[in-house]
Amino acid sequence: MICPSCSFEFDPSRGLQCPRCGEAIDCSEIGCANCDACNDVFQQVTRRIRSKS
Amino acid sequence: MSCHETGGCDVDADETVALVGCPNVGKSVVFGGLAEQYVDVSNYPGTTVDTTEAAFGDAKLTDTPGVYGISSFDEEERVTREIVLEADVVVNVVDATQLDRDLFLTLQLLDMGIPTVVALNMMDEAEADGVDIDADALEAELGVPVVPTVAVDGEGIDELRGRVDEARAPESTPIERWFDELPDDVEATRAEKTLLVEGDEPTAERVSTGKVVADGGVPALTDVGQREDVYGHRRRRVEEVAGGVLSREERDSSWAERFSDLMLNPLTGTPIALAMLGAIFYFIGVVVAQKVVDFLEITVFGEYYNPVVEGAIESLLPAASWAEPIEFLLINGNLGLLTITVQYIVGVLLPLVIAFYFVIGLLEDSGMLPRLAVLTDRGLNRIGLNGRAIVPMIVGVGCVTMAVITTRMVGDRRERLISTALLGLAVPCSAQLGVIMGLLAGLGLIWWFGYVGVLLVVLGVAGLFLDRTLPGDSTPLVTELPRMRVPRPRNILRKTYNRTKMFLREAIPLFGATAVAISALDYFGGFAVIQRALAPITSLIGLPQEFARVLLLGLVRRDFAAAGMTDMALGTAEMFVGLVVITLFVPCILSMVMILKERDAKSALLMWVGSWIVAFGVGGLLAVIL
Ligand SMILES: Nc1nc2c(ncn2[C@@H]2O[C@H](COP(=O)(O)OP(=O)(O)OP(=O)(O)O)[C@@H](O)[C@H]2O)c(=O)[nH]1
Ligand SMILES: [Mg+2]
Ligand SMILES: [Zn+2]
Ligand SMILES: [Zn+2]
């Protein structure tokens, strides 16, 4: 996916932190339509819940 | 701003020093401090797009566009990468409040073995945030000089200047473990090797082509890239270093953060934005447009300047018939080169442009502009319109900057395309917007809001139309918001001065040439023909035939057209319709040249014809309603 703050393209499966600028990406901010970090709906939901807390 | 405009070109020097850092960290302010030369400084990322050079002692100092890392993902990065690879010394400007973001670039420079000095800037804001950074510990940790600075106050700049000589890079860094995986015979500097293991394609190509000549085969250097591993490892080192030198003390959120939150929430942000529009209305519309412009036009030009010049020309030129066209050209009552043209430039455009640049400067440096953009985007989305197009307009500070900010703030290609199209359609360059708004404000507060409303709706609808018709999905507006700051008066004044100067440099010759052309048309009767030809559409929008002159001026620039409207006897509603029409009217001649150059004749023509249709369509509609 493309980092919203520095536009660096990285592989989100290793975590949602941009390795270049360090920005921790928040699911609720960018929305699943623009992110391919999750493999299925179940993962989307769990990740969203986790990012809320 | 290119070096042509600043006159800093062709600095001959053996040594080169480059200023490198993330966007909006204060590089350009540091540049101004070190080289004692002003370059554009604004509180949002992407201010510097081109490099600027200046003499720095015996060396050459280069200001670069902000980047998050040395690589080649976009144009700014490519520009900066080239400069870094050629520089003898890099002054790495780091934002002390964003240490864990900015140190990535620092460590990358050190991995590349580039002699570096770190300017730890924004120390004042770090302190205000309750962040304490041990600069000595950071220096020990990095192994290169670290100088704390507050660039806007000039603090630390002298020390920085003195320590540029001490620039160095550690002998070896952890990056080297990846070097083993490069082919043994690769001939590359440490900097190039670093970029190679990070999978930087231009470097791979450059190094491979060197090999072709050497032994006829092209090694597959692009395969050795293991960017994610290298980056991930570096990120962990960044966190270690930052964690070791930084201590944070809990603070309540500052006024700036609280205000920023209020701005971004449509419920509270909208009234704030409206209040600000009202204040701008009062300043530009009432103070400048009514008081200053009226005084200049009626008293200075009407009573003194014009009569004096007319008298002088009449007595200087002989009464012969050959002198008649010259006299007409110089002092005719419509657009005389020495009378009305000067009056428009000095009496109307200049005060409004200065006022507008001043206001824009305030909004820029305080960090309000990007927030207004985000707010408008959210608001328009809520009512189902596409707010994307508004962003470049609100953030725009002149065509060139506008285009850059558009690409910075607007996600992908598709959105960029939409923005460019709408920019051409309906968004005047800043100076033009200033003049138009100034005149509009003279009509009254309600018309001012009406104008903003009409423009927003036109842009929103056009954006929606493009959004529906272009293939692909829309992406949300993601921006990195700069923090709110109290603007520095000195910077705003300098910026206003510089921009006004550039405006005049462009507008004077253009307006002069236009005045000559229109006067010639007028003299030989061509003008009457055009007026008659345009009569159907001028009457469509309920305006007198003389409006054709305004349209002719508008073909060149919208602000000329607006200035041309100042002395037409129009009712309030007519004036409003006229101003909306010229705002939506064809892009200025320089933009057309740009569009022709960047795109093709077909889209340029389409845009040009399209804006006639939109302008008169909306104008006709308004004429019926009002
Ligand atoms: N408080 C504070 N503000 C600063 C300091 N240095 C720069 N600024 C402000 O930071 C903003 C950005 O400064 P610039 O010099 O334009 O930043 P830049 O790094 O050149 O930015 P780009 O060209 O966009 O990459 C401006 O509003 C400056 O006034 C500082 O030490 N303290
Ligand atoms: Mg800059
Ligand atoms: Zn990033
Ligand atoms: Zn997700």
The three-state (H, E, C) secondary structure of B300-322, written as one string: HHHHHHHHHHHHHHHHHCCCCCC
Predicted confidence (pLDDT) at residue B12 exceeds the cutoff of 80 = no
What is the Cα–Cα distance from B353 to B289, expressed in whole angstroms?
10
Instruction: Give mean pLDDT, residues B230-241.
Output: 92
CB atoms within 10 A of CB B586: 22
**8 A C-beta contact, residue B328 and residue B521:** no
Supply the pLDDT for residue B22. 93
Supply the pLDDT for residue B417. 65
Supply the pLDDT for residue B392. 53
Predicted confidence (pLDDT) at residue B235 exceeds the cutoff of 70 = yes
Give me ligand 4 centre to Cα A31, in Å: 7
Give the minimum alpha-carbon distance from B232 to chain A in angstroms, rounded to a whole number.
5
Q: Does some domain include residue A36?
A: yes
Query: In sequence order, what are the residues at sequence separation of 6 or more whose Cβ sits closer than 8 angstroms to the Cβ of residue B39?
Result: B1, B6, B28, B31, B32, B48, B52, B63
Joined tokens for residue B468: 């529906």
Supply the pLDDT for residue B8. 43
Is the backbone of residue B179 left (phi > 0), alpha (psi -120 to 50) or beta? Answer: alpha
- In the numeric block, the tokens 């140190």 are attached to B103
Q: What percent of chain B has pLDDT over 70?
A: 82
Q: Is A1 on the interface with B (CB under 8 A)?
A: no
Predicted confidence (pLDDT) at residue B397 exceeds the cutoff of 50 = no
**Res. B25 pLDDT band, cuts 50 70 90:** very high
Question: Of residues B239 and A30, which shows the higher confidence score?
Answer: B239
Residue B292 DSSP symbol = I
Average pLDDT score, chain B: 81
**8 A C-beta contact, residue B63 and residue B37:** no
Domain B1-250 has CATH 3.40.50.300: yes
Residue B44 DSSP symbol = S
Predicted confidence (pLDDT) at residue B305 exceeds the cutoff of 90 = yes
Give the minimum alpha-carbon distance from A24 to chain B in angstroms, rounded to a whole number.
11
**Res. B126 pLDDT band, cuts 50 70 90:** very high
What is the Cα–Cα distance from B116 to B91, expressed in whole angstroms?
6
Q: Is A30 on the interface with B (CB under 8 A)?
A: yes
Q: What is the pLDDT of residues B400-443, one digit of tens each?
A: 444 444 444 454 566 666 666 666 665 555 566 777 777 777 78
Q: What angle do CA B447, B453, B456 make, to 5 degrees?
A: 145
Question: Of residues B321 and B110, which shows the higher confidence score?
Answer: B110
- Is B3 annotated as belonging to a binding site? no
Q: Is the distance from the beta carbon of residue B365 to the nearest atom of ligand 1 less than 6 Å?
A: yes
Q: Does some domain include residue A16?
A: yes
**Res. B602 pLDDT band, cuts 50 70 90:** confident
- Using only the alpha carbons of chain B, give its radius of gyration: 28
Closest CA to B561 of B336, B299, B348: B348
Q: What is the DSSP string of B177-236?
A: HHHTTS-TT----HHHHHHHHTT-HHHHHHHHHHHHHHHS----GGGG--HHHHHHHHHH
Which residues crowd ion ligand 4, with CB under 5 Å?
A 27, 32, 35, 38, 44
- Using only the alpha carbons of chain A, give its radius of gyration: 10
Predicted confidence (pLDDT) at residue B381 exceeds the cutoff of 90 = no
Range with the lowest mean pLDDT among A2-6, B395-399, B590-594? B395-399
Secondary element (H or E) of residue B335: none
What is the Cα–Cα distance from B95 to B26, expressed in whole angstroms?
8
Predicted confidence (pLDDT) at residue B317 exceeds the cutoff of 80 = yes
Supply the pLDDT for residue B301. 93
Closest CA to B584 of B410, B372, B440, B433: B433
Using CB atoms, pick whichever of A10, A21, A23 lies closest to residue B228.
A10
The boundaries of every CATH 3.40.50.300 domain in chain B are 1-250
**8 A C-beta contact, residue A18 and residue A5:** yes
A19:B100 CB<8 A: no
Q: Is the distance from the beta carbon of residue B152 to the nearest atom of ligand 1 less than 6 Å?
A: yes
Supply the pLDDT for residue A34. 65
Question: Of residues B53 and B290, which shows the higher confidence score?
Answer: B53
Residue A40: exposure state from Cβ atoms within 10 A (0-12, 13-18, ≥19): exposed
Range with the lowest mean pLDDT among A17-26, B329-338, B462-471, B488-497? B462-471
Q: What is the pLDDT of residues B58-87, one digit of tens each?
A: 899 999 988 999 988 777 888 899 999 999
Give the minimum alpha-carbon distance from A28 to chain B in angstroms, rounded to a whole number.
12
> What are the helix (H) ranges across B524-588?
526-540, 547-556, 558-565, 572-584
Predicted confidence (pLDDT) at residue B345 exceeds the cutoff of 50 = yes
Instruction: Give mean pLDDT, residues B354-377.
Output: 83
Long-range contacts of B619-626, Cβ-Cβ distance < 8 Å, separation of 24 or more: B619/B540, B619/B541, B619/B577, B619/B578, B619/B580, B619/B581, B619/B584, B620/B540, B620/B541, B622/B454, B622/B541, B622/B576, B622/B577, B622/B580, B623/B540, B623/B541, B623/B542, B623/B573, B623/B577, B626/B573, B626/B576, B626/B577
**Res. B185 pLDDT band, cuts 50 70 90:** confident
Supply the pLDDT for residue A51. 62
**8 A C-beta contact, residue A42 and residue A35:** no
What is the Cα–Cα distance from B261 to B257, expressed in whole angstroms?
6
- Is B164 annotated as belonging to a binding site? no
Beta-bridged to residue B282, according to DSSP, are: none
Predicted confidence (pLDDT) at residue B123 exceeds the cutoff of 90 = yes
Instruction: Give mean pLDDT, residues B591-618.
Output: 76
Supply the pLDDT for residue B167. 95
What is the Cα–Cα distance from B599 to B420, expressed in whole angstroms?
11
**Res. B213 pLDDT band, cuts 50 70 90:** very low
**Res. B365 pLDDT band, cuts 50 70 90:** confident
Predicted confidence (pLDDT) at residue B482 exceeds the cutoff of 60 = yes
Tens-level pLDDT at each residue, chain A (53 residues): 777 777 788 877 777 788 888 887 777 666 676 677 777 777 777 777 666 54
Q: Does some domain include residue A23?
A: yes
Supply the pLDDT for residue B252. 72
Residues of chain A with C-beta less than 8 angstroms from the C-beta of B68:
5-6, 8, 20-21
Residues of chain B with C-beta less than 8 angstroms from the C-beta of A9:
73
Q: Are strands B246-248 and B131-133 parallel, antiparallel or unpaired?
A: antiparallel
**8 A C-beta contact, residue B579 and residue B554:** no
Treating both helix axes as pointing N-terminal to C-terminal, what angle do B558-565 and B489-523 enclose, rounded to 10 degrees? 70
Q: Does some domain include residue A26?
A: yes
Predicted confidence (pLDDT) at residue B574 exceeds the cutoff of 80 = yes
Q: What percent of chain B has pLDDT over 90?
A: 28
**Res. B165 pLDDT band, cuts 50 70 90:** very high
Q: Is B93 helix (H, G, I), strand (E, B) or coil?
A: strand
Residue B472: exposure state from Cβ atoms within 10 A (0-12, 13-18, ≥19): exposed
**Domain enclosing residue A16, as ranges:** 12-52
Please count the residue pairs, one from chain A and one from chain B, whose beta carbons lie less than 8 angstroms apart: 47
Long-range contacts of B392-396, Cβ-Cβ distance < 8 Å, separation of 24 or more: B392/B419, B392/B422, B392/B423, B392/B427, B393/B423, B393/B427, B393/B459, B394/B369, B395/B44, B395/B369, B395/B370, B396/B423, B396/B427, B396/B429, B396/B430
Secondary element (H or E) of residue B94: strand B89-95
Q: Does some domain include residue A6?
A: no
Question: Of residues B415 and B8, which shows the higher confidence score?
Answer: B415
Question: Of residues B190 and B357, which shows the higher confidence score?
Answer: B190
Instruction: Give mean pLDDT, residues B12-37.
Output: 89
Which among B6, B22, B28, B491 is the best mutation to test ligand 1's pocket, defined by most ligand atoms within 8 Å of the CB? B28
Q: Is B339 helix (H, G, I), strand (E, B) or coil?
A: coil
Instruction: Give mean pLDDT, residues B111-135.
Output: 94
Residue type, B586: V
Instruction: Give mean pLDDT, residues B133-155.
Output: 95
B69:A14 CB<8 A: no
